[in-house]
Amino acid sequence: MIDSTETQLFKSKISILTIPRENFWIFKSGTLEILYRLVDAYENRANSQYSDNDQGYQLSNSAHMINEEESESLDNGDINSEIEDDGLFFHLAFTREEVTIMCSTKLMKRYLSKAMKMDPESTLISDEFFIMQVFSDGSNIGKKILELTQPLSLNNISLFFISNYFSDLVLVPIKDKVKALKILEETQNGLDETRANSYSNDLELKTFELFENNNIKPKLGTDIQLLLTGARSGDYAEVLKQTAESVSRLNTENLKSGGKSFPEYFAITRTPTEEIGLLLPYDNTELNKLKFSKNNIMGSLQDYYYPIFIDLKKLPLDLKGIVAGMASKLLRMDIDEMSYLSLGKSGKARRQHRSPSCLLRPQPISSKFESYVPKYYDVGVNITDSMFSGSYHGRQHHRNDTLDVLKKAARHHVVDILLTGSSLDESKRTIEIINSLKQQVTNDKTLKLPNLYSTVGVHPCTVLEFESAGSVEQHLQDLENLVSEGIEADVVRAFGEIGLDYDRLHYTPMEKQLVYFEKQLRLAAKFDLPLFLHMRSACDDFIRTLKPFLDNNLLKNKNLLVHSFTGDKMQLEQLLQLEKSNPHGYKVFISINGAGLRDTSTLEVLPLIPLDRLMIETDSPWCEIKKTHPSWKYLSTSPNSFYPCDYENYETVMQSPEVQGLMKNSAKNKKNSNNTNLTLFDFLPIPTVKSDKFDKFKYSHIFEDSPLIKSRNEPCLIGLVALVISKVRTEDPQKIIDSAYRNSKQVFG
């Protein structure tokens, strides 16, 4: 028997119709009739049998259901694992090239048969199908359905796949029903690992040999970002109405490109278990064409998917195992979060591009795909440090290069930066710098900088300023005023850097740190800001001071970041336990920079940090990764996963005749006046110079970036932190990058 808790089979016969998008106007009327029939079904049930316990609509007795007498459910050989559904399954999908409709054969005949006669370019697939619905617990998305269907594909059974927010659907030809069910039951009874691996290997081999023989190259659609969402249970009818209204507005004069009235990519699925799944464009301009209310939609509107297109126009429509073979290969590359969407094969062979099958994967795309573009949020940069102004140990070595540093960061995919100040005055200066740079960007539209935000607070090593200011209360009031003004101006995004630092008691005695940590926590409780915390060799006192504020739910904002973490396993566990033991929903995040990668004991902590609590930073101009650190061995000269632009490829830059000439002259004429003194950073093709040589660098026209300064860290190097973390954790670097960015945006915006 099929395990009904994971897989359900439904009796309705399903037909699949594919239409050239430019011809959809012929089918629009029939499609709208189906959509409004679904609306009526939900609304009728809502009026009579809507459940108040939020279990959703029940349509089994709906007057608009296809009744038993006229239903074309599966006959002969039905097994008791099959479920009698209401016959109202419906799937409508738009791409740039085609429109695919899947629904019961009865609905297809009733509402679309006349249009099919009018459009010889549309294709009704000759087979009829039954639906197998696969549920998942949320782990290894896409893997369960693949394992279930691989044996079917290897036994020459054609399959169509639809992933939606709630489940995965597989459409299996009715003609292969007995064979398919027998295979599934045998699989459910136990498939040993050797046999399962054999299935995967055979499918991969078959699929990629087919691709090679027919010159087929799967294409990653990096220009397309899609959301896998669903309608809320009480809003099914409303979402269907909105879909119908959007379809009715579809521009019939420019259907192929979508015109201005309808998105290029969109899908809606009414499942056999009555949920409404949605595939929506991530781009707001495209999404707004649907005029959906976001209140009706469940699921993330931030975690988008990229499609992988497979152009199968040279192959038979009923070819077996392509999707499964491709997915199997991706799973072996540790891409275990996939969804599936099969489309028909529309139009004639003359069509330039056709995409009958798409594999969708959430925003993290494997580093194997060169087109992946990372996004970084550096949650710790000390922009007011004198090194960015060119001053080292009280001596001026070069001009202020803050703007160069930030331009370089933006070019290296640093999208957001949280700038930190260690005192009231430095917090003021940080905000002034942000406002000045914003004005420069306004005046110069070609200037590209990261989004800049600030913290406000007093570092534990400088809290004696409260007493030197004359009045502690006035200093706290000035701090409060600055926070209020910064929030109003949308510049301040966190309260900090506050905490305890027992490594540097020569700056501030322990008892003073404790007093002003608590005072600043009380001030922070007035604002809805995340805490930006500092903890060094003071874990017990840190937790003892912080815990009452959490236990008594005194902090309005529930997010806390322990920045620049350098503690051991025990300290990490204590911090995470602070979250676990609290009943009020506080979250404790951990950020890592080069200081946390400087010895073996700190590296051992990295795999223990939950991925949804991890952030990364540079803490520049400090905390660079040094050659003396054990983490140095994890770095390489090919960081294309982090800096994928052509001009950032180390080997490409090194092969440039101009660079080769400069490097050769440097090597041969070390004592000669013609020596160019050119060296490149070890892992990026950016020149590096000593601080007192920065203003004398003559070769900026050859490189995209101004030089790095030796022993000074910069935000553009944040990718190296992600690389070390990914190597130590043995995880795809893109998972680290995207998780850290998502966590940081969630907390700091």
Q: For residue range 542-551, list pLDDT tens digits in order.
A: 999 999 999 9
Query: Does the pTM exceed 0.95?
Result: no
Query: Kind of pairing, strands 160-163 and 391-392?
Result: unpaired
Place of tokens 């973390």: 725
Q: What is the pLDDT of residue 1?
A: 44
Domain final residue pick, 336, 362, 388: 362
Residue 749, in any domain of the structure: no
Q: Are residues 334 and 428 in the same domain?
A: no
Q: Given this model, what pLDDT does residue 349 score?
A: 29
* Residue 738 within any structural domain of the chain: no
What per-residue confidence (pLDDT) applies to 485?
97
Same domain, 205 and 303: yes
pLDDT at 699: 79
- The answer to whether residues 352 and 400 belong to one domain is no
Residue ending a domain, among 340, 362, 384, is 362
The helix-helix angle for 402-411 and 424-443 (nearest 10°) equals 70
Task: Based on the fold, state whether residues 422 and 315 are members of the same structural domain.
Answer: no
Joined together, the tokens standing for residue 221 give: 């659609």
Specify the pLDDT at position 673: 47
In this structure, are 181 and 68 located in the same domain? Answer: yes
Domain that holds residue 506: 376-731
Whether 393 and 357 share a structural domain: no
In a shared domain, residues 355 and 380:
no
Domain containing residue 576: CATH number: 3.20.20.140
Q: Read off the CATH number of the domain in which 125 is found.
A: 3.30.2130.10
In a domain? residue 570: yes
Residue 591: name the closest of 377, 422, 417, 379 by CA: 379
The domain total for the chain is 2
In a domain, 747, yes or no: no
Indicate the residue among 330, 362, 394 that finishes a domain: 362
Residue 484 in domain? yes
Q: What is the reported pLDDT for 70?
A: 39
Report the interhelical angle of 510-524 vs 472-488 (nearest 10°). Answer: 40
In a domain, 213, yes or no: yes
Please check whether residues 358 and 382 belong to one and the same domain.
Answer: no
CA separation for the pair 546, 561 (Å, rounded) = 12
222 and 136 co-located in one domain: yes
Q: Looking up tokens 């490097």, which residue turns up?
A: 663
- Whether residue 196 is contained in a domain is answered as yes
Which residues of the chain are modeled with pLDDT < 70? 1-6, 46-82, 135-150, 154, 187-218, 251-260, 300, 302-303, 310-372, 637-652, 665-677
Say if residue 392 is in the same domain as residue 431.
yes
The answer to the question of residue 247 being in a domain is: yes
Tracing tokens 């016959």 back to the chain, one arrives at 87
Q: Which amino acid is at 25?
A: W
Do 307 and 415 belong to one domain? no
Distance between CA atoms of residues 483 and 749, nearest Å:
16
**Is residue 461 domain-shared with residue 355, that is, in the same domain?**
no
> 35 is written with which tokens?
């959509």
Strands 395-396 and 391-392, bridge-based pairing? antiparallel
